[in-house]
Amino acid sequence: MKTITAMLEAISKLYEQQKELEEKKRKEGEFFNVFNTIGLRTEEVRLHSAFIAELLNPKGSHGLSHSFLQAFWEVIEISDGYINYSQCEQNDIVERVIGPVNDMGTEGGRIDIIIEDGNHAVIIENKIYASDQKNQMLRYNNYAKKEFPNGYKLVYLSLDGHEPDDCSLGKDEYKVISYEKEIVEWLEKCYSISDSKPLVQSVIKQYCELVKQITNTDMDTTYKNNLMSIMLDSKNIIAVGEMLQLQDEWFGMILEKYIWDPLEKLAKQNQMLFGKELGIARDWNGAGAWIYREEWKYYGIFIWTKNRKYWDDMFVGVSWFEVPNWKNKICKKDRINCKLNCLNSFDPNDEEWPYGWEFLQNDIRNWNYEIIDKIVQGKVFDYIKKKFEEIISEIDELQLRMP
């Protein structure tokens, strides 16, 4: 216990020093990121596919010809010269439509990124958070067989390098790469290559930092090395190993203690706040929780994420939860879409979020290890509580029907 206590004290001291450094960087504007500012952080097509494709395009506006593409081949181990740079198509690289999806789902669709010279092609399926479609890789395989009989390669790109779903596959030979490893490595090469183009270099740096954020790999290198030095000290190794075995459970218990339990307590004490009884339900698979009233039937106010692994892009909104099919039909039939003023995102045709939704504010939008201090201090729960109170007050004020 003395060893563990001493180690934790050393780590706490290091953490405080790092927070001071980060605050200094924040004041100097080093955390400014245009992609976060304009809300494109997780836009798979509008940002990630488009940006990567533009760098890969030998005729792209970056003005560096095929340099970035060569670096990409090097990172993902495709031989240089597989694609004839001078014959690369300049247009139709992103979201190439290859026809309507047929009844069997084996033809058609949209290719996220394609680099081709008329004889050979490299087709990249880009997955940020979206799930695989049935026969998706099979459709691209069938398309490539017809259009590029001289040879083609399929690449599956995901945040963490996981394999595509079995339902998507149609060819045994495909290469899996990740944002957190290959894309970061490639972007760092691109940064060096673009030394003569300061504007291009600056944008690549910001995009690389964004990729590190969404893959939770943006820890400062010096800080990380100092932490590793403490953790690898021979007297600490066993203790660190024991603690690492509990990291997922540890983080889950932090959320329980500082978010879910207080939310449940809020629901039980709600008569003073809202005058009517509230209930709370949780998704034990890790996607979030929701508060509801009995008279709302199948509706609730959700705190939610679509990325259960990384707890990224947490949002709040009004939606409905799963009920038996016959009730579900009634629920959909009677649903009325109506935007709440306290929620900033709304689509009148959205069945899932008929009254709107919005991401949590930027500094607590992603529930990762970087904001544990804000979770423990109650800042995350206070924000959720305030937002839930705003939503309930507006529902009552509008006398909104919650069928």
Mean pLDDT along residues 115-136: 87
Q: Could you give the C-alpha distances from 163 to 9, 44, 53, 75, 166, in angstroms and in order?
A: 40, 18, 22, 18, 9
Per-residue model confidence (pLDDT) at position 273: 47
> For 43-53, what is the mean pLDDT?
91
Q: Is the pLDDT of residue 246 over 50?
A: yes
Q: Is the pLDDT of residue 245 over 80?
A: yes
- Residue 67: the pLDDT is 95
Model confidence at 92: pLDDT above 90 = no
Give pLDDT, residue 277: 59
How far is the C-alpha of 244 from the C-alpha of 236, rounded, in Å?
A: 12
216 φψ region: left (φ > 0), alpha (ψ -120 to 50), beta (else): left
pLDDT of residue 178: 95
Question: Between 93 and 332, whose confidence is greater?
Answer: 93
Question: Who wins on pLDDT, 316 or 45?
Answer: 316
**Does 10 have pLDDT greater than 70?**
yes
Q: Break the chain down into helix, strand, coil percent, rounded to 5.
A: 50, 15, 40
Looking at residue 252, what is its pLDDT?
83
Task: Tell me the per-residue pLDDT of 200-231, one tens digit each, with 9 for 90 and over.
Answer: 999 999 999 999 888 878 777 788 888 889 99
Which residues, in sequence order, are CB contacts of 351 under 8 Å at separation 6+? 332, 335
Q: What is the mean pLDDT of residues 85-96?
A: 83
* pLDDT grade for 234, boundaries at 50, 70 and 90: confident
Taking only the tens place, the pLDDT of each residue in 323-379 is: 444 344 445 555 567 889 999 988 887 778 888 999 999 889 888 877 898 999 999
354 close to 337: Cβ distance less than 8 angstroms = yes
What average pLDDT does the chain have? 84
Indicate the range of 37-46, 224-233, 320-329 predicted with least confidence.
320-329
Asked if residues 314 and 366 have their Cβ atoms less than 8 Å apart, the reply is yes
Q: Which helix (H) or strand (E) holds 143?
A: helix 136-147
Q: What is the pLDDT of residue 335?
A: 57
Query: What is the pLDDT at residue 322?
Result: 56
Kindly state the percentage of the chain with pLDDT values over 70: 89
The residues facing 301 across adjacent strands are 291, 318
pLDDT band at 36 (very low <50, low <70, confident <90, very high): confident
Of 35-44, 76-85, 193-202, 357-366, the poorest mean pLDDT is in 35-44
Query: Residue 329: what pLDDT?
Result: 46
Q: What is the pLDDT of residue 286?
A: 56
Per-residue pLDDT at 116 exceeds 90: yes
Task: Summarize pLDDT for 156-192 with one digit per residue, the tens.
Answer: 999 988 888 777 675 567 899 999 999 999 999 999 9
Q: Determine the length of the chain.
A: 403
Question: Are 383 and 360 a contacting pair, CB within 8 Å?
Answer: yes
Return the minimum-mean-pLDDT range out of 14-28, 47-61, 92-106, 315-329: 315-329
DSSP conformational letter for 95: E
**pLDDT at residue 279 above 80?**
no
Residue 178, beta-bridge partner list: 158
For residue 158, what are its two tokens? 């995901």
Query: Any idea which of 23-32, 117-126, 317-326 has the lowest mean pLDDT?
Result: 317-326
Average pLDDT value for residue range 53-73: 94
CA dihedral 78, 83, 88, 94 (to 10 degrees): -30
Q: Which pLDDT belongs to residue 385?
A: 92
307, two tokens: 């990325």
Cβ atoms of residues 187 and 200 within 8 Å: no
- Rounded to an integer, what distance in angstroms lies between the CA atom of residue 107 and that of residue 98? 8
More confident residue, 280 or 315: 315
